[in-house]
Amino acid sequence: MPVITIERKVLAKNDEVATENRTLFARHGLFVFNVVSSPGAGKTSLLERTLELLKGALRVGVVEGDVQTDFDAQRVARYGVPVVQIVTNGGCHLEAKLVQDAVASLPLEGLDVLIIENVGNLVCPANYDLGEALKVVVVSTAEGDDKPLKYPGMFRNASVLVINKVDLLPYLPCDVEALQRNALQINPALRVFRTSCTSGDGIAAWCDWLRSRAADRP
Ligand code: MG
Ligand code: ZN
């Protein structure tokens, strides 16, 4: 089928640029991760909490992906970190080329960590390598415990799972143990954190992990 051929060509081209990005990030000694989730899971809130806690410890830059607005970049900029917004104009995922162009306006040599917030979508961002070291998938308790089974590709390709909005568990039918079990069934290597960006639960543990990963970078 021609459609499949085109898809393969697009992905192969994307992988080439992702490799260039990876080389660039390595040259600057950057630890780069790609944050993915469905819309509203709390990616930007997690970033805000993270930036708050890492202030003074790590130099962080942010690439924000959004379909239509720069609202998230404005939120992140309040933390005094360099941030660049990619507006995809309806595009439902970030591609390596968009990231390559965006990071050209960031002071990479002065950074330790680069966080890429992808467009809210659990489907195609799984297939687009951006040159990151790893993907962090965020799922909120409000989305239900079957999310990993419905979007296995994303959970398979991620290295870290953040289960967010745990403060809402008393009010929701979500079984958080089942949610974690479902995710680990698809990818037993997932590193799991449970967080609430409202109460601050679990943010310190997540930031500790991030700090140790950043320290390990070549
Ligand atoms: Mg966001
Ligand atoms: Zn897409």
What would the pLDDT profile of 70-103 be if each residue is shown by its tens digit? Answer: 999 999 999 999 999 999 999 999 999 999 999 9
Contact 62, 81 (CB under 8 A): yes
Q: How far, in Å, CA of 52 to CA of 54, rounded?
A: 6
Query: Which pLDDT band, with edges at 50, 70 and 90, does 36 fall under?
Result: very high
Ion ligand 1: residues, Cβ under 5 Å:
43-44, 72
Higher pLDDT, 164 or 218: 164
Contact 155, 161 (CB under 8 A): yes
Ligand 1 centroid to 141 CA: how many Å? 17
- Give the per-residue pLDDT at 5: 74
Q: Is 32 helix (H, G, I), strand (E, B) or coil?
A: strand
Ligand 1 centroid to 39 CA: how many Å? 7
**Would you say domain 2-215 falls under CATH 3.40.50.300?**
yes
Share of the chain above pLDDT 70, in %: 98
Neighbours of 128 (CB within 10 A): 21
The pTM score is 0.95
**Would you kindly state where each structural domain of the chain is located, as residue ranges?**
2-215
Helix (H) or strand (E) holding 31: strand 31-37
Ligand showing the shortest atom-to-Cα distance for residue 75: 1
Average pLDDT over residues 119-143: 97
Ligand 1 centroid to 175 CA: how many Å? 25
Region label for 144, one of left (φ > 0), alpha (ψ between -120 and 50) or beta (otherwise): left
